[in-house]
Amino acid sequence: MGLWNVYFVCKLMLHHAGAIVLQPWMNLCLALALLLPLRSPAWRYARQSVAIAAAAALLYHESFLPPWRSLFSEAGALSGFSLDYLAELFTRIVDARLALWLFALVAAYLVLRRWLRVSAFVLLALVIVPVLPSPRSGGAASAAGSPSLAGATPDTMINDGERLTAATSDAELNRAVERFFAEEARRTLLFPRVTRDIDLILIHVCSLAWDDLRAIGEEHHPLLGRFDILYTHFNSAASYSGPAAIRLLRGTCGQTPHDALYDAAAPDCRLMDQLQQAGFRPQLLMNHDGHYGHFREDLERRGGLEAAPQPTTGARIAMQGFDGAPIAEDYDVLQRWWQHHVAAKETRVALYYNTISLHDGNRLADAAGGWRRNYPRRAHKLLDDIDHFLSDLEASHARAVVVFIPEHGAAFHAGPGQIAGLRQVPGPNVTDVPVGVRLVGLQVTPAPRPLRVDTSISYLGLNQLLASVMAAAESGRGNIDLAQLVAHQHVTPFVAENDGLMVVRAGDGYYTRGPDGHWSR
């Protein structure tokens, strides 16, 4: 098989390291096709060409890279990316250590082939290795690390309601997923009618998970301490912007499978419709144009947010997006909107604000007039901006419920099976996001601030809290007892999806289902 041996040995090693999931039968077929004796040089040449294409496709399939279809649909086509961002992504995928290993392998092969029938060993290994237990786990589970806050180990404090199932066989996990979606399909929530003056402000932040906050040392940023309620295990259930926004905007129903996000939603599941019926006026605000990945279309067609975007003209441009488009400064956009809101004497507005300031590949202007990618600096600025905006709200004596909720994490750190910044595996390192709720101008029963909720919560639980707060504010009877409200919040076990990949919390850890339908730890 010549140099093809190196291809197979590399893959066996990657499989062993948990970076890919080897498909033994497909590899054996490829190896046997290469071993078939062919006389004609033309045929041999044709076979090599086909084999190279097949080998590349097979390796891609075995990797944890996002399926092509999702790469194109989410990325709004790679052609939209600026050239230097593409170059940066390439250097993250092809890492230098891997290239060195490959070089060493080729050298070893050239030496050994004089004395050994390398092909025979490779064929034998292809049959044996996949049936041996993998010493390291692959995919999201190991990439995830500890999703808890410092000091808390999630799997010792886990209650049974937070785990999909205790068993971890393929069959049991599949049954548990089916049961989960069947139960979730029955859950709906109704918002109470509101007549008092109060606004609801949802701040949907692209690319910020607990894992990212810890990685950049911002897990104690003053903004987080300022919330009345802080969720330490909120599952965004999605790792890309479009599905995350649809999930949030359909969050008055139970969790739906990823594919169903693109079907029509039942009327009760559309958060903005419900808020409208409750007496609110839906509004949309973004610090970008919403073209990327058909985001605006997802909001409107799938999320049911039909309002035209609020103008952001005149807002300060803070950075250049990964696709070259301008991105406005969060504080400036929000405070301009607020000033307009106050001047227009609007009330009962349900604002959905979307910010992509933290998206991978965005660049800040540096002192020298150039552009620099700097996630920690951008994240710090975003947290400061929201903090500043909250201060303005509090000083204005307005009544508003403000929800800070990231879409998904940034995957700032790469892990096995994860490329930094690409978030293809929806593990807890990407979908466990810091969600904070601040009640501005409302009377709250004193409790330590922030009141930390460590149980597994998702959109339905959050909306349940918001509906309860609205009902309490409407009744106008005394203080709102937040501790009591969070004690009755709906707990959702961890199930997160991306196109073709699913991660669940089961047994004593996290399990990933690949596109081939198999689960791995």
- With respect to Zn ion, which residue has the nearer C-beta, 298 or 332? 298
Pick out residues in 174-213 that bind Zn ion (CB under 5 A). Answer: 206
Choose the stretch contacting Zn ion; rule: CB under 5 A; options: 39-47, 233-241, 251-259, 430-438. Answer: 233-241
> Which three-class secondary structure state does DSSP give residue 102?
helix
- Element housing 50 (H / E): helix 41-62
Q: Which residue(s) pair with 185 in the sheet? A: none
348 C-beta neighbours (distance < 10 Å), count: 17
- Which token pair is 4? 């093809």
- With respect to Zn ion, which residue has the nearer C-beta, 212 or 407? 407
Choose the stretch contacting Zn ion; rule: CB under 5 A; options: 31-39, 109-117, 148-156, 403-411. Answer: 403-411
Min CB(74)–Zn ion separation in Å: 9
- With respect to Zn ion, which residue has the nearer C-beta, 242 or 493? 242
Closest CA to 499 of 517, 515, 518, 519: 515
- With respect to Zn ion, which residue has the nearer C-beta, 228 or 298? 298
- With respect to Zn ion, which residue has the nearer C-beta, 5 or 241? 241
- With respect to Zn ion, which residue has the nearer C-beta, 206 or 401? 206
Min CB(361)–Zn ion separation in Å: 12
Residue 212 C-beta-side C-alpha neighbours within 13 Å = 31
Min CB(354)–Zn ion separation in Å: 9
Say how far apart CA 162 and CA 456 lie, in whole Å: 6
- With respect to Zn ion, which residue has the nearer C-beta, 211 or 407? 407
Closest CA to 510 of 245, 233, 246, 230: 233
- With respect to Zn ion, which residue has the nearer C-beta, 241 or 255? 241
Choose the stretch contacting Zn ion; rule: CB under 5 A; options: 378-386, 404-412, 480-488, 497-505. Answer: 404-412
Distances in Å between the Cα of 95 and the Cα atoms of 128, 171, 173 are 28, 36, 34
- Triad 202, 253, 480: Cα angle to 5°: 55
Min CB(87)–Zn ion separation in Å: 22
DSSP assignment of 372-424, as one string?
A: E--HHHHHHHHHHHHHHHHHHHHHTT--EEEEEEESS----S-BTTB-TTT--
Min CB(407)–Zn ion separation in Å: 4
- With respect to Zn ion, which residue has the nearer C-beta, 27 or 241? 241
- With respect to Zn ion, which residue has the nearer C-beta, 241 or 357? 241
Sign of CA dihedral 460, 466, 472, 474: negative
Min CB(364)–Zn ion separation in Å: 18
Contacts 24+ apart (CB under 8 A), 442-448: 442/198, 442/399, 442/401, 442/469, 442/473, 442/480, 443/478, 443/479, 443/480, 444/228, 444/479, 444/480, 444/481, 444/482, 445/479, 445/480, 445/481, 445/482, 445/483, 445/484, 447/228, 447/482, 447/483
Choose the stretch contacting Zn ion; rule: CB under 5 A; options: 178-186, 220-228, 236-244, 340-348. Answer: 236-244
Min CB(245)–Zn ion separation in Å: 8
Min CB(359)–Zn ion separation in Å: 6
Choose the stretch contacting Zn ion; rule: CB under 5 A; options: 114-122, 234-242, 253-261, 511-519. Answer: 234-242
Out of 241, 357, 492, 512, which residue is the one contacting Zn ion (CB under 5 A)? 241
Whose tokens are 């999909």? That residue is: 164
Min CB(213)–Zn ion separation in Å: 16
Counting contacts by CB under 5 A, is residue 298 touching Zn ion? no
**Entry field: residues in the chain:** 521
Min CB(410)–Zn ion separation in Å: 9
Min CB(274)–Zn ion separation in Å: 24
- With respect to Zn ion, which residue has the nearer C-beta, 176 or 206? 206
Out of 407, 432, 497, 499, which residue is the one contacting Zn ion (CB under 5 A)? 407
Report yes or no: 222 and 387 within 8 Å, Cβ to Cβ: yes
Residues in binding contact with Zn ion, number by CB under 5 A:
3
151 C-beta neighbours (distance < 10 Å), count: 5
- Rg from Cα positions in the chain: 25
14-28 burial, b for 16+ CB within 10 Å, e for fewer?
bbbebbbbbbbeebe
Closest CA to 494 of 419, 411, 397, 426: 426
Choose the stretch contacting Zn ion; rule: CB under 5 A; options: 99-107, 274-282, 400-408, 440-448. Answer: 400-408
420 C-beta neighbours (distance < 10 Å), count: 17
Choose the stretch contacting Zn ion; rule: CB under 5 A; options: 72-80, 181-189, 273-281, 402-410. Answer: 402-410
> Which three-class secondary structure state does DSSP give residue 83?
helix
Min CB(168)–Zn ion separation in Å: 30
- Which token pair is 66? 């996002």
The alpha-helical segments, DSSP class H, found in 258-371 are 271-278, 295-297, 330-343
- With respect to Zn ion, which residue has the nearer C-beta, 242 or 304? 242
Say how far apart CA 104 and CA 92 lie, in whole Å: 21
Choose the stretch contacting Zn ion; rule: CB under 5 A; options: 80-88, 267-275, 318-326, 405-413. Answer: 405-413
- With respect to Zn ion, which residue has the nearer C-beta, 290 or 507? 290
Min CB(331)–Zn ion separation in Å: 20
- Give the residues lining the site for Zn ion (CB under 5 A): 206, 241, 407
